[in-house]
Copies of this chain bind each other. A is one copy, B any other.
Amino acid sequence: MTKKSALQIARAEYKPKVPTILQGKVKIEEGVATQSVANQKEVQALFPHTYGFPLLKFIADKNDSSSGNSAIASVAASVGSDKPINVGVILSGGQAPGGHNVISGIFDGIKEIHPNSLLYGFILGPDGLINHKYTELTADIIDEYRNTGGFDIIGSGRTKLETKEHFDKGLEILYKLKISALVIIGGDDSNTNACMLAEYYASINAGVQVIGCPKTIDGDLKNDMIEASFGFDTACKVYSEVIGNIQRDCNSARKYWHFIKLMGRSASHIALECALQVQPNICLISEEVEDRAQSLDDIVNYIAGVVAHRAENGNNFGTVLVPEGLIEFIPAMKALITELNDFLTHNATEFNMIKRREKRAYIIRKLSRENSVLYESLPEQVALQLTLDRDPHGNVQVSLIETEKLLAEMVERRLKEWTEDGRFKGKFATQTHFFGYEGRCAAPSNYDADYCYSLGYTTAGLIAAGKTGYMSSVRNTTAPAAEWVAGGVPITMMMNIEKRHGVMKPVIQKALVKLDGAPFKTFAAKRDKWAIETDYVYPGPIQYFGPKEVCDQPTITLRLEQGR
Contacts and interface: CB of A to CB of B under 8 A. Distances in A.
Contacts of A277: 5
A540 B2 contact: no
Contacts of A475: none
Nearest to A153: B252
A11 B252 contact: no
A3 interface: yes
Contacts of A94: 253
A437 B258 contact: yes
Nearest to A242: B438
A553 interface: yes
A545 interface: yes
Contacts of A550: 6-7, 10, 545
A348 B250 CA distance: 34
Interface in A218-271: 238, 241-242, 244-246, 248-254, 258
A151 to B, nearest CB: 4
Given A538-B443, A540-B443, A149 B546 contact: no
B441 A248 contact: yes
A156 B241 CA distance: 22
B443 A150 contact: no
Contact of A245 (B4, B238, B252): B238
Interface string A135-163: 00000000000001111100110000000
Interface string A426-446: 000001010001111111000
Contacts of A442: 245, 248, 540-541
Interface in A1-32: 2-8, 10-11
Contacts of A238: 242, 245, 541
A549 B10 CA distance: 9
Interface in A401-447: 431, 433, 437-443
Given A6-B550, A538-B5, A155 B437 contact: no
B3 A279 contact: yes
A442 B249 CA distance: 9
A59 to B, nearest CB: 34
A167 interface: no
A437 B537 contact: no
B433 A253 contact: no
Interface residues of A, number: 61
B357 A252 contact: no
A156 B252 CA distance: 6
A543 interface: yes
Given A440-B245, A441-B245, A253 B95 contact: yes
B254 A124 contact: yes
A547 interface: yes
A454 B107 CA distance: 49
A165 to B, nearest CB: 24
Q: Provide the main secondary structure of the chain A interface.
A: loop
A539 B7 contact: yes
A241 B152 contact: no
Given A5-B244, A7-B539, A433 B437 contact: yes
A543 B545 contact: yes
B150 A249 contact: yes
A439 B545 CA distance: 22
Interface in A103-145: 124
A545 B152 CA distance: 28
A303 to B, nearest CB: 19
Contacts of A6: 547, 549-550, 553
A277 B6 CA distance: 11
Contacts of A545: 543, 545-547, 550
A535 interface: yes
A148 B546 CA distance: 17
Contacts of A538: 4-5, 8, 148-150, 443
A536 interface: yes
Q: Most chain-B Cβ atoms within 10 A of its Cβ — which of A241, A242, A252, A553?
A: A252
Contact of A543 (B148, B251, B544): B544
Contacts of A540: 5, 7-8, 11, 442-443
A274 interface: no
A89 to B, nearest CB: 15
B245 A439 contact: yes
A471 interface: no
A41 to B, nearest CB: 39
Given A252-B441, A357-B357, A546-B546, 12 more contacts: A2-B536, A3-B279, A3-B537, A7-B539, A7-B541, A8-B540, A148-B248, A150-B249, A151-B253, A156-B253, A249-B441, A433-B437
5 contacts: A3-B537, A155-B253, A357-B357, A431-B437, A543-B544
